[in-house]
Structure formats: C-alpha cells, structure tokens
Amino acid sequence: MGLASEAPHVLVDLPLAIDPAEILRFQGYKPGAVPDAVVRALFDEALVLGRALVRPRAALRWLPARLAADRLEAGGVAFTVPGLSAAWGAIEYLAAAVATIGGALEQRVRELWDARELPLAAMLDSVGSAAVESLAEYLNDLLCQQGLPHGLRVTNRVSPGYGDWDVADQRALFAICPGDGVGVTLNEACFMLPEKTITLVAGAGVAARVDHYFAQCARCWMRDCAYRRVPARASVRRDG
C-alpha cells in the first residue's frame, strides 16, 4: 500500500485559512453571535497579526494498523481509546500527525501580556488556537483525499487528551510520529512545545465509518469529489 512510510513526511508552508468562527468560539461567542464594533476591530487587528505569525507545518505518517475492542495497534505501539471501535468501524491503516503553527505567535502573546495590552493578547491567543484547530481540520481533509485513490475511507480525527483518551498516550504517538521534524517537543508531563500544537490520528479502511462525515465534507476543498456528502461551504485552505 503506497501510503505507509517508515518515517513521517514533513509538510511545510501549508496554505492554511484560519476559520473566523473558530476565533470567536475561543472568545466565548456562541455560533452566529455577532461581536460589537470594538471587538470586531480587535478581531481584525489580531487576525492580521496572527496571519503574519503563524507557520503551519505537520509531521504526518501512515502505518498499517489493527483496531479491536478499542485497542489500536500500529508501528509497535498500542493505544486504548474508549469508544473508538464504534466510532471508526473496521480500519486497516492509521495516520498519525503532529501539527503546529510554530512558536512565534505565542511569543508575541507573551510580549503583549507583559506590555499590558490584554485585550489584544487574548484575541491573538484565540487566533492561534483557531489556527491550530483549522490546521487539524485541514489535515483531516488532506488525509481523506489521500485515502480515496487507494479505495480507503478515512475517519474523523481523534487526539490524546481529548474526551476519554488518556493524554499519556502522547508518548506512544510521538514514538510512531516524532515531532522533531516540525520543531515540537514533548516533556515528561506530556505537554507539547510550542503550545499551539495538536497531535491527531485518523483511521482508514475499505469499510471504515464515514457516515457521520458531513462536517468534514462541508469545508473540504476537493470540490469534484465523487464521495462528497454535502456541498462545500468554506474551506480551511487559502485557495480552496
């Protein structure tokens, strides 16, 4: 199978579009809520600043995998992820990724805090959080596009530390997909640096579950995809 590799591929200079709705979500806004003019000006300023500071990169590796009774095995490591067998169905391959926007944005946030420019610091921090979430979504779309030529369906992503999945499994994830190619380190407490980093895994199989894939297709930039479930609304790719 052409997807699997011995080491991660490093993707750089990804044409990421930061989802504005995600920024507002990190600011505590409910979906559809419209900020006032003052907040909007702050939002615009932080977004311009953030776009100049983010450097989206990802280490990405496909491996043969086995999933049974919520135990996921790939590359000599094993994860226990509650509910995963039901969510993914049958899979034969796993994609593991370490995705980051780099450390420049969080450094600027620290400088703004030190200068007591608190509203802009908080908004810029939300831009960074939204950027790395958008990057994870970008990768999920990309993984689906990589699986289709091989006749494989690609599931939604999951990450150690989210839901019921123990954050300690970050170590096993780094064992099969190290972050050093994108400048990400993991400490003893399973805390990653730069902070604006997300690790993720997604499964792939001829009969993997994608019946809940509507949100994924809704912002995927592969417009002529024969497997698309809903029309594209917006994309997390700049020219998508």
Shortest Å, Cβ 150 to ligand SF4 = 12
Q: For strand 153-154 and strand 93-100, is the pairing parallel, antiparallel, or unpaired?
A: unpaired
List for the chain the helix, strand, coil content (%; round to 5): 40, 20, 40
- CB of 129 or CB of 155, closer to ligand SF4: 155
Whether the CB-CB separation of 99 and 40 falls below 8 Å is answered with no
Is residue 236 a contact residue for ligand SF4 (CB under 6 A)? no
Q: In 102-201, which residue ranges form alpha helices assigned H by DSSP?
A: 104-114, 118-147, 170-176
Shortest Å, Cβ 219 to ligand SF4 = 9
Residues in contact with ligand SF4, counted by CB under 6 A, come to a total of: 11
Interface with ligand SF4 (CB under 6 A), residue from 72, 97, 172, 217:
217
Q: How many residues does the chain have?
A: 240
Give SS3 for 126: helix
Is residue 145 a contact residue for ligand SF4 (CB under 6 A)? yes
- CB of 85 or CB of 145, closer to ligand SF4: 145
Stretch that binds ligand SF4, among 78-86, 97-105, 119-127, 140-148 (CB under 6 A): 140-148
Buried b (16+ CB within 10 A) or exposed e, 41-66: ebbeebbebbeebbbbbbbbbbbebe
Shortest Å, Cβ 225 to ligand SF4 = 3
Is residue 222 a contact residue for ligand SF4 (CB under 6 A)? yes
Is residue 197 a contact residue for ligand SF4 (CB under 6 A)? no
Backbone angles phi, psi at 178, to 5 degrees: -60, 150
Exposed, middle or buried by CB within 10 Å (0-12, 13-18, 19+), for 215? middle
Stretch that binds ligand SF4, among 60-68, 122-130, 144-152, 175-183 (CB under 6 A): 144-152
Contact set with ligand SF4 (CB under 6 A): 141, 144-145, 148, 216-217, 220, 222, 225, 227-228
